[in-house]
């Protein structure tokens, strides 16, 4: 999965700089292979109990997405150290790569975060206290 993702993100992000770009047919084949792997994982955990499905979507799949992001970033930084040595180039390239990963694996942003970190007592208190402090304020746009 990581290899396919790295290959497809390369062609989608940096492909226009290559003298022999990958044609759209082969890009679609890469996308289909990635979608088949993701579907396999989802079927494997959806056919089991409700508890396993919940654990898969709240913990396992976000860990997989995080691992894919980290590994692909390392692949690019180790393969193109001169390009990624410039901070602005690194920032733009990593954003474009992560956008591609998000678009391919989690277009609705359901699994690209750890919701249990956001739902603790401290997190809820921080959100409500911040919201209440702005309750009677006006928007700067009005």
Contact 100, 13 (CB under 8 A): yes
- What per-residue confidence (pLDDT) applies to 111? 73
CA torsion, ordered 16, 17, 23, 27, to nearest 10 deg:
-80
Check whether 135 has a pLDDT greater than 50: no
Task: Give CA–CA dist 63/73, Å, rounded.
Answer: 15
Cα separation values, 10 from 26, 32, 50, 81, 126, Å? 13, 16, 37, 15, 39
Per residue in 49-105, pLDDT (tens digit) is 788 888 888 888 888 888 999 999 999 999 999 999 999 999 999 999 999 888 888
Task: Give CA–CA dist 100/85, Å, rounded.
Answer: 21
């Amino acid at each position: 999965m990581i290899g396919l993702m790295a290959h497809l993100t390369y062609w989608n992000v940096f492909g226009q700089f290559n003298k022999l770009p990958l044609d759209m047919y082969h890009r679609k084949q890469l996308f289909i292979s990635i979608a088949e792997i993701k579907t396999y994982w989802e079927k494997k955990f959806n056919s089991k109990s409700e508890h396993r499905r919940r654990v898969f979507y709240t913990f396992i799949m976000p860990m997989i997405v995080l691992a894919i992001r980290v590994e692909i970033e390392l692949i690019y930084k180790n393969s193109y150290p001169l390009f990624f040595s410039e901070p602005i180039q690194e920032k733009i390239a990593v954003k474009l790569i992560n956008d591609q990963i998000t678009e391919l694996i989690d277009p609705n942003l359901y699994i690209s975060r750890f919701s249990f970190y956001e739902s603790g007592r401290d997190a809820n208190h921080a959100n409500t206290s911040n919201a209440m402090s702005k309750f009677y304020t006006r928007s700067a746009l009005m």
